Every structure is written in C-alpha cells, then in structure tokens.
A = this chain, B = another copy of it.
Amino acid sequence: MTTQTDSSTPLVDRYINTWNETDAMKRAELIRTAFADEATYRDPLLAGDGQEGIDAMIRAVHERFPGHVFTRSGPVDRFANHLRFSWALATPAGETIVRGTDFATLDGDERFVKVTGFLD
C-alpha cells in the first residue's frame, strides 16, 4: 500500500486556504488553481457546482460566519487520486464550532474535481 501524504498535504492546505480567502480576486484565483472547471462540492449543509458555484458557496459561508477560520486537522490520507482529510471551523476567538471530514477526488492536474464532506 502506497501512501502519499507528504506530497498531497500542500494540495489540501491550498484547498483550505481557498475556504479562508475573503478577498474575492484572490479567492477566484485560488479556486481556478485548486478546483477543476467541473468541480462539485457536497456536504450536509452546502452545495456548489463549478468554479463559480464553489466561489458563491464559500462567499456565503463568510457572510454567515464572518472572521471564522478553517484549519486542516490531522494528516492527509491518499491513495491513487482519492483523498481524505479532516478539518475544523473556529470562531475568531479560536473556539471550534464544527468539525468535518472531506473525501475528494483529484483530476489529472491534481485539482479537486469532486468533494464530499461529512460532519464529525
């Protein structure tokens, strides 16, 4: 069994940074780099389709949770083009209010093409 945790961690950290980027221009650029054109995101609360749909979804999270920050929690688990990693969302005061685990498939350019999130 091959694990590729080290090489995938920057990909996931860029993905997390995308969720945290409040500057619209910077976020659009991060999304183009991190997500495939046809990317989809689904979790129990959110949905986004395509780069623009994902951008709108993240913007809505910032409006709902201003100043909150996502962080990766724990290592990245990968085989082939499949990733698993956990995350936490904290208030500006640093209190974690949501934890989740995302499962993602990468395309041939190592961009996120399908993400399914579960809440922990």
Contacts and interface: CB of A to CB of B under 8 A. Distances in A.
Contacts of A82: 42, 116, 118
Contacts of A119: 1
Nearest to A105: B116
A80 interface: yes
B45 A84 contact: no
A7 interface: no
On chain A, which size bracket covers the interface? Answer: 10 to 19
Interface in A35-65: 42-45
B42 A77 contact: no
Contacts of A103: 84, 103, 116
Interface string A63-104: 000000000000001011010100000000000000001010
B118 A44 contact: no
A118 B103 CA distance: 10
Contact of A118 (B42, B79, B118): B79
A69 B9 CA distance: 34
A84 B44 contact: no
Contacts of A43: 79
